[in-house]
Structure 1
C-alpha cells in the first residue's frame, strides 16, 4: 500500500436508472489522489465529477468498484464513519446557531469536551480570519463570510480529506477570486487533502496541484495544470481548458497538410489520416504577409486592456484568434492581410 495516497477510486461505476434508460454517471473511473495535495475534478455539468465526490463522501454507493481512504476500503462505510468532510455549494449553515455554534457543531456531535471544543473553534476561526464574528448569526454575514464559516465547520474535526462541491459558484467574481486564494492558503497551512469540484477552468488552473478532467462519466486526463494546458490528450481536453484554435489537417510524408493547402513540418506520432491541430491564441504572433507560416485576413479586433484579440480568416474560411499584448499589437483593420508566426512545437496533433 502506498502511504502517500489519500483517496483512491478503483474501476468505479455508478449507474442511475435501469434498462434502456440507465445512465452511467461514472463509467469505470480509476483515480488516485495524494495526501496533502489540492486536487480538482474539472468538467462540464453532468460529467460525473459531483457523483464521484459523493461516492467518496459516502452519500452515494458505487454500483461496482471500490473507494479507498488511506488504503482502507470504505465503499460500504456510512458517511459519518469516514474521516471526510464536505463543503457544499449551498453553505447549509444552521440559522439558529452563531458562527461559533456552527463551527463547533460537528465537534459536539463527536463528544468533544467543552474545553477542547472552545479551543478548536477559536483556532479554526483564527485560521479563516473570523475571530471577531464568533457571536454573529448567518443572516448577519456576507456571502464570503458564510463561506468561511462553512469551511471552518468542515475543518474543525481535522478530516483526512476535505471535499468541496463548487463552493465558490454563488459568489460574485471579485469575491470568488479572493476566496480562491483563501482556499489555497488554508490547504497549504492545514496540509489536509482537498478534493475540489468545479466547471470553472480558471479556478482549476490557478488553485490545483493536479487536475482530473472528466466528460460523460469518464476520466479523460490527470495532470498538473501546465500538463493539462500544454499537452492535452484529446480534442475535448484542449477545447475545455482555455481558448484553442483548431485546424483540420491530413497527415502526409512531410508532416501535415492543412485544408488551406499549406504543409507544416510536424511530428505526427502514431496519427494518420485526418487530424486536428490545436494552437493556443497566445502562441500566435502577427507579422507582415509572407513572413509567417500562414497568411490570413483580419476579420475583427477586440481590445481587452492588456491584450488584444485579433480574429483572422484563413484561405479555407477557418477563423483563428491571435491574442497579443496590446502594447505590441500590430495596427490592423478589417480586411488587412497578415502573416501568422508560431513555433510548430507549440502545436498539438490530436485525433479529430
Structure 2
C-alpha cells in the first residue's frame, strides 16, 4: 500500500532520524560500511532498507538498534539523541534472521520472557501474552515448545516476543529469508497486517525486491554504503532516479537515445515522449523500458518503428516473454500477458519482428 493511501502515518513526525551517519570498520584495510547517510523514518511506517549484500543496510539497522556506534553523525529516536545509548535503554526491539528463540521454552514462555526481564507484573504479562498469541494467531500452540513447531510458526513467535513490550520501533533483519517461497509470500502479508494493527514503526531489511514492493510504505535503495533513492514502491519502480535503482528493482530494458526537451529519439528507431528527471541535459541518454510496457509483433518495422529479429519465446502460464535483438544490437525483453485461448502469432527464431512501447512508459535515467 502506497504511503499516500495510509492516513494513519504521521507524515510530519519522525520515529527515527539518521543524520549524516558514517560507519568505518578499522583493520588492515579500512571499510566504509556507511557513507554520510541521512534518512527520516516516520511513525507508524513500514520502511524498508533494500539493496544487495554488502551495501550497508544491516549495518544501518545495527546502528539504530545500538549494537554498533556510528563513527560520525547522529541518530535520534522521537527527537531524542540515542547515538551513544546502549541497546537495553532504547525502546527498540529486533527480530533476527534466525529468530533466536529458546527451544526448551513453550511458545507462551518465549513471549513472556522479555516482559519478565523488564519486571512487569504477572497479571500484565499474562494479559500481554494472551493478546500477542491472538495477534499472531498462535493460541492453540501456546504450550508447545518452539523446537516442536514449524519455521513459519517460529517466526510468528519471534514477532510476538518482539512486539510484546510495544517498542516504538521494530527492526527486522531479513526475517523471511529462511522460509520457503509460499510461506514467505504468506508471511509478507502477515507482517504488513501486524504492522498496521499495532501501529509500531517497522524498519525492514531485505535484498528481495518483490518483498520490498509488497510490504513497504517507503523504500530506501542502498548501494556501497549510500542511500540512492527513497520513495514509495510505485515511485521507486516507475520513476527510478538512476540506472542502478532501475536495474535492481524489477526487470529492465536499457536503450540508447538522444534527448531533446521531453522527447527522446531511440537509436534503434522511433520518437517518444519520456519522463525526464530534473538536471538531465539534452543529448545522449540511457532510457528505461519495463518488459510489461513492451509488445512484440510479427513483421518488419515501418518508418519510425523499432525493428529487429526474434531470439527466444518463453511461455510461463500467465505471460509470454519474448526476447528480440534490435538492429542496433540491443537486446529487449517484452512480457505480454496471456488470456484464455490466446496464441502469439510470432515467427521462428531469427524472424523479423517489430517492437511497440506503451505511451508514457519511457523514463530517462541519470548517469
Q: TM-score when scaled to structure 2? A: 0.91
Is structure 2 residue 73 aligned with structure 1 residue 61?
no
2-structure distance, mates of 1:280, 1:205: 16
Is structure 2 residue 300 aligned with structure 1 residue 289?
yes
* Equivalence for 1:140: 148
Q: 1:335: how far off? A: 2.0
* Equivalence for 1:278: 288
Is structure 2 residue 325 aligned with structure 1 residue 317?
no
2-structure distance, mates of 1:293, 1:77: 62
Contact 2:241 2:366 in 1 (8 A): no
Is structure 2 residue 351 aligned with structure 1 residue 342?
no
Deviation readout 1:151-192 (Å, 9 max, x if unpaired): 000000000010000000000000000100110110011111
* Equivalence for 2:338: 326
Structure 2: 5+ residue stretches without partners:
1-10
Instruction: Give the alignment partner of residue 190 of structure 1, picking from 191, 198, 202.
Output: 198
Structure 1: 5+ residue stretches without partners:
none
Q: 1:317: how far off? A: 1.5
* Equivalence for 1:170: 178
Give the paired residue count: 349
Deviation readout 1:212-251 (Å, 9 max, x if unpaired): 0000000000000000000000000000000000112344
Alignment of 1:1-352 (within 5 A): 4-18=13-27, 21-251=29-259, 255-260=263-268, 262-266=269-273, 270-287=280-297, 288-290=299-301, 293-327=305-339, 330-332=344-346, 333-352=348-367
Q: Secondary structure at the match of 1:202?
A: helix
Contact 1:308 1:329 in 2 (8 A): no
2-structure distance, mates of 1:254, 1:227: 19
Once superposed, what is the RMSD of the aligned Cα atoms? 1.8
Displaced runs of 4 or more, over 6 A: none
Contact 1:254 1:263 in 2 (8 A): no
2-structure distance, mates of 1:182, 1:278: 33
Q: Secondary structure at the match of 1:286?
A: strand
1-structure distance, mates of 2:175, 2:329: 42
Q: Secondary structure at the match of 1:26?
A: strand
2-structure distance, mates of 1:318, 1:96: 59
* Inter-CA distance 184–290: structure 2 relative to 1 (3 Å threshold): same
Contact 1:254 1:264 in 2 (8 A): no
Contact 1:274 1:351 in 2 (8 A): no
2-structure distance, mates of 1:29, 1:253: 33
Q: 1:343: how far off? A: 3.2
Q: 1:329: how far off? A: 5.5
2-structure distance, mates of 1:253, 1:40: 34
2-structure distance, mates of 1:249, 1:96: 63
